[in-house]
Amino acid sequence: MKYISIYFYNLKAYLIASMSYRMDFFIGLISSLIEQIVYLIFLNVLFANIKEIAGFNYGQMLFIYGMATIGRSVHLIFFDNLWMFGSRYIRKGEFERLLIMPINPLFQLICERVQLQGFGTTLIGAIATYQAYHLLGLHWNIFHLLLFVFICICIGLLYAAIQLGPTALAFWIVESFPITMGIFSLNQMAQYPIKIYPTFIQLILIFVFPYAFTSFFQLFIF
């Protein structure tokens, strides 16, 4: 309960600060929406010329994209401050401030920033999933819906867990952002069926940086 109250206190403080720069918020939100819409346009153009990719049709690809996007938005909203760890908390010495606080330093690091633009990404992912739901002729009950929400939250946590490893390199190299971004960019490969990649790449996406579990395998649950 203590951690929940602390989180909402930090959230309130961050929202007040963010509203001081409303234009920045709206520009970030619009750019996030444009990025996702461009990919959806690409997907539509692609499947206007081909019927399937590695045995996956348009509806299945849209479902993979929708689930991965919602999960990524969970990561974006709640764990965005991890990107600042090297440049702000290590280079500028702010990590010492977290260490003297009577709460978990990682928790404090996470809750000091909330990326509100992620809600736009959530909306696009939800729309894509809704469209895929009808294209695939799915029939969900309340259990399936709750399971879907739970899986999306787990996907967001998985994104954060994968990011924590390279982020922690900042303790030795200070600026770990380039390495973290390089590894994180592999998640884009998980937006497609991993069957299209060589075995070596598949093993990396399953066992080393398990982005395959952020979208591909979940398709078989539903």
Tens-digit pLDDT profile for residues 25-67: 777 778 778 888 888 888 888 888 888 888 889 999 999 989 9
**What integer pLDDT is reported at residue 4 of this predicted model?**
82
Instruction: Choose among 23, 123, 112: nearest CA to 73.
Output: 123
Reported pTM: 0.89
What are the beta bridge partners of residue 53? 56
The three state secondary structure string of 30-83 is HHHHHHHHHHHHHHHHHHHHCCCECCECHHHHHHHHHHHHHHHHHHHHHHHHHH
Q: Within a 10 A sphere around the Cβ of 108, how many other Cβ atoms?
A: 19
**What integer pLDDT is reported at residue 186 of this predicted model?**
92
* pLDDT per residue as tens digits for the range 72-86: 999 999 999 999 999
Which residues in the chain show pLDDT less than 70? 1
The domain ranges of the chain are: 2-220
